Amino acid sequence: MKKDGIQNESILRLMGSIGHTDRFVVCDVGLPVPKGVEKIDMAVVKGIPTFMQVLKPLAEEMVFEKLILAKEILDGNPDIYEGIKSLCGDIPIEFVTHEEFKKLTADAKAIIRTGEVTPYANVIIQAGVNF
């Protein structure tokens, strides 16, 4: 049994399969999941777990090369945006429209759905390498 860190079997499997430049999504409870993309559903009830509760351990255990956010987050959810920036530091952020964001999720290896119920609490994460 693992001592610490992420314990969710589906997320551990995803982490082991991600290669450089592969993408996955962490999202709020309302983001649609395209057909053919694996959904890892963490939602228990509205608000549990939060977006940041799921993103934080991923950022601690994985190398993020780039983040993609819907530009609507800047006005529609500045608290989550500031949380992402604080957690992820200097990782480059690309902004697209929310409609374009939803289209880009079709190429994700998986979508991790949280219980978050605030708007635009979604991020596409592009994996980096640790060397």
Q: Which of 5, 7, 17, 20 is catalytic?
A: 20
pLDDT tens by residue, 78-114: 999 999 999 999 999 999 999 999 999 999 999 999 9
Query: Partners of 127 in the beta sheet?
Result: 64
Distance CA 125, CA 131 (A): 18
13 Cβ partners below 8 Å, 6+ apart?
none
Alpha helical stretches, state H, 1-131: 9-17, 51-61, 73-76, 78-88, 98-104
pLDDT tens by residue, 45-54: 999 999 999 9
Global confidence as pTM: 0.96
20 included as an active-site residue: yes
All structural domains of the chain, each given as residue ranges with its CATH number in brackets, are 9-127 (3.40.1650.10)
